[in-house]
């Protein structure tokens, strides 16, 4: 079942209009551009998913831990050389026995796939993707080149316009891009933001 979460202050008429304009219903969240994804991330990694484990939490909801083997670190608050070779990424939803839960807008991974993941600290054990599925750029081969595209499953991205109304908004990566070019863009933003913070 699709779940729809609307931000506070979203009128019924506007909500209906957004739903009508969207090809698929899902979680309504604020769109983040690439600079915002970088700014909100504690770590940005290129990694491969090596294990998935779903579990039921104390409140009865289900979450899934994905163990990600880090191939490259694009940003980390850890001192140079101290970054962990693996990270745990936690998302809401999953399957435990016959009990399943799906949260629209939360990314799902398959073991073996590679992705660029923008992460923020969730708890002492696991990170959370920034902006739900917006923080996941999946890596695929295309005509011999590694490319990335943004994972936006189950998301309706919006921004508040100058008139104060929420409007559909493009994503941080509206079309696929060569992986190395994307990495350079991310690293440039990381450097620029670090420089601005020290001014």
pLDDT in the model for residue 158: 94
pLDDT in the model for residue 192: 95
- pTM over 0.85? The answer is no
CA 120-173-158 angle, to 5 degrees, is: 75
pLDDT in the model for residue 151: 82
Residues of the chain with pLDDT under 70: 1-25, 77-83, 199
Name every residue whose Cβ is closer than 8 Å to that of residue 36 and which is 6 or more positions away in sequence: 131, 172
Query: In this structure, what DSSP letter does residue 16 have?
Result: H
Please compute, for residue 125, the number of CA atoms within 13 A of its CA located in the half-sphere on the CB side. 6
CATH number attached to the domain at 12-197: 2.40.50.120
Phi-psi label, residue 104: left if phi above 0, alpha if psi -120 to 50, beta otherwise: beta
d(CA 179, CA 139): 7
CB 64 within 8 A of CB 52: yes
pLDDT in the model for residue 22: 47
Provide the terminal-to-terminal Cα distance of the chain, rounded to the nearest Å. Answer: 49
CB 62 within 8 A of CB 35: no
The bridge status of strand 27-30 relative to strand 155-160 is: parallel
């Amino acid at each position: 079942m699709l779940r729809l979460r609307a931000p506070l202050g979203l009128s019924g008429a506007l909500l209906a209009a957004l739903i009508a304009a969207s090809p698929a219903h899902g979680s309504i969240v604020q769109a983040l551009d690439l600079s915002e994804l970088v700014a909100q991330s504690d770590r940005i990694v290129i990694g491969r998913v090596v294990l998935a484990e779903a579990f039921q939490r104390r409140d009865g909801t289900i979450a899934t831990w994905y163990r990600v083997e880090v191939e490259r670190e694009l940003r980390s608050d850890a001192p140079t050389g101290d970054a962990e070779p693996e990270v745990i990424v936690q998302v809401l939803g999953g399957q435990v026995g016959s009990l399943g839960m799906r949260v629209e807008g939360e990314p799902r991974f398959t073991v073996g796939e590679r992705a660029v993941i923008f992460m923020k600290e969730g708890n002492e054990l696991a990170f959370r993707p920034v902006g739900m599925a917006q923080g996941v750029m999946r890596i695929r081969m295309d005509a011999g080149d590694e490319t990335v595209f943004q994972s936006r499953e189950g998301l309706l991205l919006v921004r508040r316009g100058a008139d104060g109304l929420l409007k559909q908004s493009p994503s941080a990566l509206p079309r696929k891009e060569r992986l190395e070019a994307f990495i350079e863009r991310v690293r440039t933003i990381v450097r620029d933001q670090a420089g601005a913070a020290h001014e």
